[in-house]
Structure formats: structure tokens, C-alpha cells
Amino acid sequence: MRGAPDFEQPAWQPGTVINAGVYQAVQQPARGAAPPPPSDDPQFRRALARLLLRKLTSTLDEIHWLDDELVELTAIVEDVDGYPATRRRGLLRRRGRYATSPLSQALTRPKTDLILLQGQAGSGKSVALRQYATAQLRQIAEGRAPNAPLPVYVNLRELHAKPHEITTELLRRYIMEQTGPRGSADIAAYFTHCFADDLRERRVTLLLDSFDEIPAVLGSATVDAVVAPYVQTVIELVGGGGRCVVASREYKGLRANGWTRLHILGLSPQQQEDFLRRVGLDQRELALLQPLLTDPRRGFTAEAQNPLSLKLLATYVQAHHALPDRPSTLFADYAALRLRSVLAEAPNVQQRLADFLARFAFRLTASGGGLSVDERSHHEDLAKVAEEDPGTRVLLIRALSESRILVSSGRRVFFGHRRVQQYFASKYVADHPDAVAPHELATNGRWRETAVTVLQDGAPEVTEPLLRALAEVLAAERTDEAVFEWSPAAVHCLELLTAAYQGRASWPYETIRPLADALVAAAWERGSVSDRKFALDCLPLLSEEARELYIDRAFAGESGWLRTTALRDCATLPTLSPAIRGSVRRLLITMLGQKIPLAEAHAIKADLQRLREDEDLVRVRRVVERVPLGVVLLSIAYYVGLMAGSIWDALTLLVTPVMLLMPITLFWLFKSTQPLSYGVAKSRLRRFLEELFRRWIDMDKARADTDPFLMGMTLCGGVLTAAHLATAVEHLVKGNVSFAVIWVLTVPLAALAWIWGPSTLYVVRHGCPPGGLGVAGLVRMPLTALRMEEHPIHGLLADDWFRRALRSLRTHGSTLVTGMTIVGGLVYVALRYLWIATLVWASALALGVLTIIFDLIRSLFRDLRSRRRVTRAAERGSVGGPAFFSALHELRDTAEAAEYVRLVRAVPRAEPLALDRQALRRYIAELPETDSELLDELGRLDEQLRTR
């Protein structure tokens, strides 16, 4: 019958039919005609917010099979809005990583257009988006924030449009259908007339969830080719200036070309404790859980960093007052608990329903057509399980509905959470080993999550064939070629293994570890910087010796990208060996030589918080950062004491500033000595002085060693202490008691100004004793350092230092004599002609001030010209191809080239840059490692061009 509603709908109930009739009656007059435009009245915006809030609340009631506790998450942000931190002293904004907690602060950043929210399954992406949308909608609906951007939350799970079918109009209609109550005239009018303009004018924030669950993306073999049309459609829909947040897992998610990337980190120990207390665990239950959270041999340390798994773990402990034996037990117990609560009187039906869920999850995964089925086919499957018994069929439908393991949207049925589907699919594969061939399970991206779960919790008869299949793929990788490059198959298999075994102390590594060690060694020796970066991501698969080697190499290199990756990936290891802990402490000391933006400092703190060690590395870093300030304050206090204990004449005013600057200058030189630090990340001034020193003494290699430097400063501190005591005695003999007291009081200041800073860094480098970072411990740092067996002062008498000193004197004696003669002549002139020395001192000071002012002005104009030059080059090179390299070669230095590559990467695009990847890799191979900033940016571009 024409005009009648389509009653060919599966499993409609009478109420549904009545509501559909009302919907048809309301909408029938408007069929074929666009709804009238809404008014600009603020009341309409509040009413619209209430409609969206009502729809979102009903969605939450349907899909939340877990409670809505959300700990304050930490996200690492890769920013593309500002300007980079280069080695130049510019006045431009800086860009880099930074951490923010809670995550909602990053989502509300006003100047960010396109945001990619990434994280593992169950890390809190969807919950964070829904809570953000709910809070914002409630404020708008209640009139507390009438002009705030309207959040529009959409789950892309049911977007069945194929890549060649997707358009902005189709996506807009899908958003309208998913966000508002069906049949709402206000929703239809708004999306028809206002949505596009509001989105471009930033009056709307579009929140797109579950991008990686789009059916076509799930079933794709070539990820990039399928993802690109959807990304391009989102960019076109948002337009220039609009704001959109897309949540996705990293695997099969969109590439962050020109997007601000938010990566949700695992929960730190403090965040875990806060979360567990929030869900109701008492102190006894927390103490029971503690071994599971800290002992990697239990297999839960990595899983417990996930909010969803941690919630299930808390539920298990509350229900059983015991600990589970493996992570899969959490999902099995929770599903059984939910089913048992509604099927307590039918245990046979409960088992049949559990078997049905396993088959259903396997079918969804195997089909590649999405994560949901239509209700008709779902009810047909339930009828088969019920063996055509209507009563059993009704019981099954009620059990699934009340348990919320499965959720119905009215047309489609899907699992309440994808992790639950993964559990049931892996359970089916474990119970039916012949269901999927091991090679298919190892190489087909459709089965990746299932393979990860099987490797973590499967029986040996299931995991061993899968590990052999993975080993076959890795063994086929070529490691004997002159230039190494990861193949897509090897990347897939290693990512799968890393996801399965990160944070685990024991796993069946006999067949995998030798292959992983060989591949990583080849990548590090003959690969580019992007190959080395992926090698670091494989740290959980390597032997302990290999881990220590590559972490130390990454920290010691010039690449900031590799250093950051290595520090972040340390959190994926079950434990940190003493050598790795020493490397981390050494890195923290090395960072003193860097000018780290505050945002990057927050990211480093977040990385350190995730390292599960007895040593508080966050506090160690805080102490290391404040050591230079302590040295400056001690030097100033020492200078004040000298001035108070001396007669104020021209000589005193001329000489005492040297005593102020000397310990500060020597500490500045000491902190970059080796092996105290890695000797990288040096300032421009230090590089200039080292080059001057190298040429002056005619040495091919001049490297300041830590032990001689520390011994020299310790001896100077001791000599200065003796000199102060002698001066005090002299004043006392002359009857100047007050001066004598002052000089006695400045004795500890004289020693501390010279040796406290170096001693503190030395103790930190070798491992601070327990309680050594308190106030009392910091005051005793020189004594603590002197008691260490490694301190060079202990070898002063035992070592043949006199012979080495003579050998050094024969080698550099003429240089030393010349230098001492010049210094002695200057001192004589200063003492003999004070007015000349004062004039020279004042002239040098004035010249220094003028030089600084001139340098700042010149730097400002240079940065402005450089920015204009780089921007023009990026406009030409962003098209890719030969234009990219020709524009790159026109720039003046590597800092400009690095900024140019960064700007090209920051252009929002659906597909990777049209660039010959092999040509790019050849260009990278020709660059010296000292051009680290440019190498890092080209490496990130190379990583984006890698085929998925």
C-alpha cells in the first residue's frame, strides 16, 4: 500500500508498530519537502541540546554494560598548532609533545581543529567522549553555557557505506539519524539548515567514535586505501575552521596527517589506586590486589593499566575475595555473572547461551562485514539455540537484554564492548583449533585482536601452531641486504606479538626471540631512523642484553624522536634491569643540557610515572632539574659571605665576582661530561667552546671525562676550605674577630658551592640510596658521594696519577705554560693598575649587554624571514613529488628544512603525501646523524608513507 510504513522489519513488537505509526503520521505531510528553517532564538539551541542529551542518555542506558567510572586519564599530545622548538632562540611558539590530565582538558583546547584520539581497547576513548558530550550538553540545556560549542556524538559502527559510496551528504544524514530522536522535526530542521554552517563556524564540536569499527575498514586488507575516502569526507564535512574529534584504535585507524594526536596512556600506579578506591575497594582488597598489579610474572601488569580490565579485576575481587589466574578469567567471570543473574534457574540454558555468544562473536569476526547483524537473523539464530521452543527463545532474548552483553539499536545487534567480542571469539578459536588456519590467524588483520588474546591465554596446543606461523613470517624477512626495510607482514606480526606479550615476564619466546633480535639488529645497523623507531617498539620481544643495548644507543644518539620512543617503551617492559635504570638516570642528567619546553617536560613526567620501579624516577628528575638552581643559590650565598668578610675596595669588587662565577661555570661544564651524561643535547655556547678548545690544544678528540673533572672540583673545594680556615686564623691573630667568624661560617658554603652540585649528579647517576632525596639526604650529598667506592678521590693515592700528570704535562706543557703566563700577566696588570682592570671589566660587561641586545634583534628578524621562506616552500612542496625535494633544497639550513617538513606533514590530507618513499629513504641515508632534527621529521614522514 502506497504511503504506508514499511512493515518488513524484523522482530517488531506492538509498541514499536504503534510508535512507527505515530512517526509516520507526523512525518507524512513533510515527505519530499525540506523542513522549515529553525529560528535563531537561544531557546531553540537549549531545546536542541535537550534532545541530543536525551538521545545520548538513552544510548548510554543501552550500551553501558559496565558502570561509568572514569579515572582522570593522561594523554600524550602531538601538537600541530604551534611552531617548533628548534635550536634557534626565536620568539615563536613551540610545538611538541605534552601531557594533560584529565583528558577533557585536551578535548576542550579552543584552537585545535582536527583531533585524533587514540588508545587501546578499553582505555576509555568512548567513555571520555560521551562524558565530555554529556557535560557540555547539560550546561547548554540548563543555560549555564549558552554559547558553548554544541557537542554532537556519533558512533560510526553502523556506517555501512562503502568507500566508493561515502559522501559528505551521506555522512551528514547518518549523523542526523544517530544523534537525535527518530522523527524529531527540530533535529531534521537543524541538520538541514544549520548544521553545516555551525560546524564551520565552530559552534558545533563533532565527536566521531569507533572509526576503526566502520564495517568496510574492519574487513579491509589494505587499510590506507579503504580509510582514505572516509578521512577525506570528514575533512570536507568539517571544512576550513571546523572542529572534529575522531576516536579510534591505532590499528586500522586513520593516519594523523595534520591532526593533533592524543594518545591515551596506560594508568600509572597512582591512577590505578585512585580508580580502585573509586569503584569501592577497601584497604584489605587493595592489599590483596597489589601483587597482581606489580609482579609481572602474574601476567596482569600490562592489562591492569587498562581502565576496563581494572574495573573487571575489581569486580572479580569483590565477588570472590581472591585473585584470578589469568586475564581472560576476568571476562569469563563477568559474562558468567551477568548470565547467572538472569538464568539462575536454568543452568543448562546458560551454557547454551555462552556457546551461542562464542559462535556469534566468531561469525562477526570472520565475516568482515562489521560488528553487528540485523535483528532478524539474530532472532533466527536464537530460535535455533532454543530448538524452536518459544519459551526458551523468550528466555534467551530476555537474558541477553538484561545482561547487556549484547545490545540492540532497534535495527542491529552488537556486543556492548568490542573487548567482550574479542574474548568470546578467541574462546571459540581456542575450543575449535581448526576454525582458523594458524597462518590466517597470524597474517590476516581481521583476526589480530583474536590472535593477541589467544597468545595471551590460549592453551599450548593452540598457541604453538600460531607462534610457528608467526616465526615463519619473520624468518622470511631479508636481513642480508645492504639497506634494511621492514616489510608490512613483519610489521604486522611484530606489532601483534608486542601487543600480546608487553609487560609479561615469561612467555614462550624460544622461537620468536632469536628472530626478533636479528631483525632489530639489522634495522638498527642498516635501516633509517623510522626503522630504528619501530625496532624500539619491539623491545618487549628482545632479550635483556638487547634491550639494554638499544635503549642505551637510543638515549646516546642525537635523535630526540628515538630518545622519546625508548623512554616511552620502557613502560612496556615487565621490569627494568639495573643497566636500564642507570641509562634512564643518565638520560635525566643529559636533559639538563636541553632547553625543554614546559609542555614536553609534562610528557616526560608522564612517561616516568608509568615506569613501575621502586625508585621514584619522577622525584629523581625533579631533584636533577633543581640542582643548577641550588648551585646558583649556594654560589650567591658564598659570594655574599665573601663580601661580608672582606674590605670593600676596588680589588675586592674585581676579584669576588670571579669566585661567584667559577663554581657555576665549572658545574655547567661538568653536567655534560661522560659517562655522567650521554654528552648530547649540548647548547650552542658549549659546542662553540668545545670546538675552540679542540683546536687550541690541537687534539682530534676532546671529551671531558667525569672522574677527573669531579676529582678536580673536589680538590678545589678542599683547597678553598683550607684557605678559608687559614684566612680565619689570620683575622683572629690580627684581632678581627668578627671577620674571623664570618670566614669560619663561609667554610661550608665554600665547599658546597664547589662540590654539592657535582656530587648530587654523581650520586644520582650511580643510584641514590633509599631516602637520599629528602632534605637531609640532599644536604649530605657530598659526604654520600665521598663514601661511594666509585668516587675518583679514592683512587688518588692508589692510582699512578703522578706519572699520568707528567705524561700530560709533556704533551700539553707548552699550551699550559702559555695559558698560565697570560693569566698571570692579566692578574698582575689587574693588581698593578686597578683602574685599567676596572675599565676593561666595565667595557666587557657593556659589550656583552650590547651583544645580547643585538643578537635578540637579529634573531627576531632572522626568524621572521625564515618563517616566510619556510611557509612559501611548504606551499610549493606540499603537493609532493619532485616539488617536495626542490623546495627542500632551497632552504638555508637544517632548522628551516626540519620546519618545512613539519609544515608539509601538518597539512590535513586523507592519503599520505604523494612522494616516492624509496627516494625519501635514499635522501635520509645521505644525511649525517648530527642533523637530528631534520632526520626525525623525515623519519616521521617516512613512517607515514609506510604501506598498511
Residues 355-375: pLDDT tens digits? Answer: 888 888 898 888 876 788 888
The whole-number average pLDDT for the span 816-834 is 63
CA dihedral 848, 853, 854, 858 (to 10 degrees): 140
Provide the residue type at 85 as one letter.
A
CA dihedral 298, 301, 302, 305 (to 10 degrees): 140
| Alpha-carbon Rg for the chain in angstroms | 33
| pLDDT more than 90, % of the chain | 10
Give the pLDDT of residue 89: 36
The whole-number average pLDDT for the span 602-616 is 75
Q: Residue 261, SS3? A: strand
Give the pLDDT of residue 31: 45
Higher-confidence position of 830 and 67: 830
Task: Find the helix or strand (DSSP H, E) in which 346 lies.
Answer: none
Question: Which of 357, 365, 298 is closest to 327 using CA atoms?
Answer: 298
Residue 69 CA to its chain's centroid (Å): 23
Confidence at 613, pLDDT banded by 50, 70, 90: low
Spatial contact of 79 and 260, defined as CB atoms under 8 Å apart: yes
Record the cell numbers describing residue 803, joined without a space. 706519572
Question: Which of 74, 418, 104, 95 is closest to 263 using CA atoms?
Answer: 74
Give the pLDDT of residue 538: 93
**Alpha-carbon distance 51 to 812, whole Å?**
83
Give the pLDDT of residue 853: 87
* DSSP string computed for 191-207: HHHTHHHHHHTTSEEEE
HSE-CB for 900 with a 13 A CA cutoff: 30
- Worst-scoring range by mean pLDDT, 104-113, 508-517, 937-946? 104-113
HSE-CB for 142 with a 13 A CA cutoff: 7
Question: Which of 366, 404, 359 is closest to 385 using CA atoms?
Answer: 359
Q: What values do phi and psi take at 420, rounded to 5?
A: -65, -40
Confidence at 536, pLDDT banded by 50, 70, 90: very high
Question: Which of 744, 762, 752 is closest to 718 using CA atoms?
Answer: 752
Give the pLDDT of residue 222: 67
- Worst-scoring range by mean pLDDT, 253-257, 348-352, 853-857? 253-257
Confidence at 60, pLDDT banded by 50, 70, 90: low
| pLDDT more than 70, % of the chain | 79
Mean pLDDT, the chain, as a whole number?
A: 79
**Alpha-carbon distance 569 to 721, whole Å?**
46
**Alpha-carbon distance 53 to 151, whole Å?**
10
Give the pLDDT of residue 515: 93
